[in-house]
Amino acid sequence: MRNDVTSMTAVLEGFTSRTPTSDGLAAERRPVPFADSVPVEPHPPAEDLRPVHDLRGTLERRRSSLHYAPLPVRTDVILSQLRDVLRRDRDDWGLDASAGALEGFVFAFRSEGAEPGLYRVTAEETCYLAGLDEIGPAENLGVQREFSTGAGIVALYASLDRADTWAGSHGYRISALRASMATYDLNLRCQALGLVGTLFGGFVPSSVHHLVHSDGATRHSLLATTYARPPES
């Protein structure tokens, strides 16, 4: 452990800079598209989206959990909730046009009501990208194997290229904040529905970069959360 915080202070102060560090051409670059994606329109019945717990009950019960029941979860419900979260981010921040939109990737390992596999979700669309066999071993997606024991993982991505052109290092800070808020929003929505999970920063994007077309700039992973049914007591 170090008690000299000089280096860390310099890093934190650097996040206030609004001077772009790239070539300023982010608006001319686009992330690699998903040519073979299959559009999905999740429309779970209203009763399946109705919270089991109200806000107070959710906040009182919320826990970060790595212990899960080996049961499937309704993937269409997760996709619908994530789309609502990303629409909320788009509307609340109003930065999609200037700093880039958030994207969510759902790795559905144990799925009910939809094919297991990889899904991409934005505020505008949802699509199916790949099956479990293409994703490979689930334990490769996290630095802790416990992350792979949930029913699924949701990872939030952002364009650091666009964010840097918009506001330099401050753009990165805002992208990280937006991704954090969206991930917590989804996690709390899941817990309100009676599910459990944990947020984590140890997602390993290199294991699936070929599937999500992540280059670390135009599409970069920032935060993730697991979701699952709670273990039986």
pLDDT tens-place string over residues 88-97: 999 999 999 9
Q: How far is CA 20 from CA 41, 65, 169, in A?
A: 38, 39, 7
Let me know if 26 is exposed, middle or buried by CB neighbors in 10 A (0-12, 13-18, 19+). Answer: buried
pLDDT score recorded for residue 2: 61
Q: Over 80: is that where the pLDDT of 213 sits?
A: yes
Provide the β-strand partners of residue 118: 107, 130
Q: What is the pTM of this model?
A: 0.92
CA distance 15 to 203: 23
Which tokens is 106 given? 């759902």
Q: Is the pLDDT of residue 1 over 60?
A: no
- Give all strands (DSSP E) within 85-215, no chain letters: 103-108, 111-112, 117-121, 126-130, 152-158, 199-200
Higher pLDDT, 79 or 20: 79
Span 36-89, pLDDT tens digits: 999 999 989 889 999 999 989 998 988 898 999 999 999 999 999 999 999 999
Q: How confident is the model at residue 34 (pLDDT cuts 50, 70, 90)?
A: very high
Q: 27 pLDDT band (50/70/90 cuts)? A: confident
